[in-house]
Structure 1
Amino acid sequence: METAHEAKGFGNFDDAAAYILQLLSKQIGINSLFIAKNDGETNKIIKAHNSSKSLVEEGSSMPLPQSYCSLSINHGPTPLIIEDVSASELTRSMAITKNYGQGTFIGVPVYYSDRTVYGTICGLDDQSHKLSEEDLSTFEMMSTLLTYVLELEKANQQIQTLTAPIVPVTKGVAIVPVIGEITASRAEVIIKHVLGKCSQESMDYLIIDVSGVLQINSTVGEYLLKLVNILKVIGVTPVITGIQPFMALKVPHFAAALKGVMIEANLETALKQLGFVLIKECKEKSDSH
């Protein structure tokens, strides 16, 4: 229960992965612990924790079929334990086995909630290592915890994207209402979301409305400026609306850096500047009947 409680405080999957490996290292004496991600072809080490020897390098990758992780995935959801990689029929002929002598490997797949494979959580040593039933249970529990964190991160990204939806106004014109507190991580999600939409649809103007932003700091200001500059590069004219007085006070260079960018007080004036006239049609419709 304590571990699950800690997971809720993680900033992202990388934070959770690092914490879990540290926790495993304290409980299990195996030299190297790592979490790998694969796309069906390549196995990449996302996080690694080495105790006395650097057997696994974080950030390294290799073809999935040449890795021990592929054996773990093929084995299924229960831990795969190979007490001596030089003697096992599964590993003795593999090229990487020469690096680990009579070492020990343990691996458990990490799944998304729909049971598709994210990757693996593994332990590796170049010395023989005896794993207890409790060790195996701990590995399984950590795999389940990582699934939980993966789903939390996915849900969080969806929420962040939904709080900055792209609303089409007419052909070539759309609005992005940015709402709530903007953090650096959320700003990154918004930028990726906006650029993805702009690449899919032909867009001439994108109105970025920040009237719903609760807080802003220099870091967030830089991200917004980055978005504005990227839009210019890809041929989309940015329009900023809703800049509040507290923004100008808290990030003095923000408004100055937007020199040359179309800035309007609100959405209505921005749309008028772009050639739109907002009218109430209710009366006209009622008169026509």
Structure 2
Amino acid sequence: MDSKKSVKNFGDFDEAAAYILQLLSKQIGINSLFIAKNDGHINNILKVHNADKKLVEEGSSMPLIQSYCSLSINHGAVPLIIDDVSKNELTRSMEITKNYGQGTFVGVPVYYSDNTVYGTICGLDDQFHKLSEEDLYTFEMMSTLLTYVLELEKANQQIQTLTAPIVPVTKGVAIVPVIGDITAPRAEVIIKHVLEKCSSEPMDYLIIDVSGVLQINAVVGEYLLKLVSILKVIGVTPVITGIQPFMALKVPHFAAALKDVLIEANLEAALKNLGFVLIKNEKKNQTFV
């Protein structure tokens, strides 16, 4: 009988990070494993896997220079291992060492593909923990894997933004054509991208064209409504074009919730409503003026 292996799919970097820490915990057995991110000044603990004792608090932060993570970054791409933090010259005088007795620390930096530092992946115990060469190699491999995941997430965000570009029409008027499948994460990226654009450039009207949307559900409908509401709050008038019949059927309240919003069948009608006229020049190219 054939056996089927399940494939692990990750929604984002956080999910991948949590899974990697679980794998490390099973193989290495050190009490606390964590992934930290820093901006060069503050060290933020993003993901933690504590076994028996809660030695590291997820969501906590401290000045980078006061953390063991800074030592790992300064050590370079290979793992830094400190068998006894209470005796090692790098850690014995640090304030946080008081919390870990004669414990063991291991850490390796996590890099972006351009070799800038994202943060670290570390292990910590308040008692001596023997780490093998294989354990250290695993830490290095997991750091490389996190770099790969980071770059995938960055590329995906860029793709999502590019598939909903903001196209300027004239001063104060722009179009955002939304194309393809809309997922909740993609909707969030679109909203963020739109708000960044509206904050950097004066905008009076933003035409949201959804004629290229392939699928919609209640969750996605809520995100689109959220975008419309936010635009109103910041003083930008939203205009919706291209609503398809299947959208009204799948999300019945969608059209009703947009009753106070200008809705047009297509882009041409929306632009005409805003006072633009379609003309043809001598080279037979159409343009709005």
**TM bucket by the smaller chain?**
over 0.9
Please tell me whether the aligned partners of residues 239 and 262 of structure 1 are also in contact (alpha carbons under 8 angstroms).
yes
Task: Report matched runs for 1:233-248 at 5 Å.
Answer: 233-248=233-248
Deviation at 1:152, TM superposition (A): 0.1
Which amino acid in structure 2 is aligned with residue 136 of structure 1?
A: L
- The aligned counterpart of 2:210 is 210
Contact 1:69 1:120 (C-alpha < 8 Å) held by counterparts: yes
Query: Between Structure 1 and Structure 2, how many residues are aligned?
Result: 281
1:224 aligned onto 2:224: yes
Please give the per-residue CA displacement for 1:36-63, whole angstroms capped at 9, x wherever unaligned: 0000000000000000000011101001
**Partners of 1:7 and 1:149 within 8 A in 2:** no
Partner of 2:115: 115
Q: Which residue in 2 is equivalent to 1:191?
A: 191
Q: Report deviation, 1:29.
A: 1.1
Give the AA of the match of 1:173.
V
Deviation at 1:10, TM superposition (A): 1.5
Q: Distance in 1 between matches of 2:283 and 2:81?
A: 76
Q: How does 1:153-168 map to 2 (within 5 A)?
A: 153-168=153-168
SS at match of 2:55: coil
Distance 2:164 2:91 in 1: 49
Query: Which residue of the partner structure matches residue 277 of structure 2?
Result: 277
1:48 pairs with 2:54: no
Give the gaps of 5 or more residues in structure 2.
none
Contact 1:7 1:16 survives alignment (8 Å): no
Q: Given the two structures, how large is their TM-score scaled by the length of structure 1?
A: 0.95
Structure 1: give runs of 5+ residues left out of the alignment.
none
Q: Deviations over 1:114-155 (max 9, x none)?
A: 000000000000010010000000000000000000000000
Query: Matched residue of 1:185: which SS?
Result: helix
Q: 2:24 — aligned with what?
A: 24
Q: Distance in 1 between matches of 2:166 and 2:6?
A: 34
Residues of 1 paired with 2:102 and 2:124: CA distance? 11
Counterpart of 1:127 in 2: which secondary structure? coil
**1:14 paired residue number:** 14
Q: CA deviation at 1:259?
A: 1.2
| Residues 52-71 of structure 1 mapped to structure 2, 5 A cutoff | 52-71=52-71
Computed over aligned residues only, the root mean square deviation of the Cα atoms, in angstroms, reads: 1.5
Structure 2 length as normaliser, TM-score? 0.95
Offset at residue 271 of structure 1 (A): 0.3
Classify 1:245/1:89 alpha carbon distance in 2 versus 1 (closer, same or farther; 3 Å).
same
Shift of 1:278: 1.2
Partners of 1:252 and 1:267 in 2: how far apart?
A: 23
SS at match of 1:36: strand
TM-fit CA distance, 1:8: 7.9
CA distance in 1, matches of 2:24, 2:6: 14
Could you say if the C-alpha distance between residues 6 and 65 of structure 1 is closer, same or farther in structure 2, counting changes exceeding 3 Å? farther
Distance 1:259 1:125 in 2: 59
SS of equivalent residue, structure 2 residue 213: strand
Q: How does 1:85-124 map to 2 (within 5 A)?
A: 85-124=85-124
Q: Which amino acid aligns with 2:25?
A: S
Q: Percent identity?
A: 85
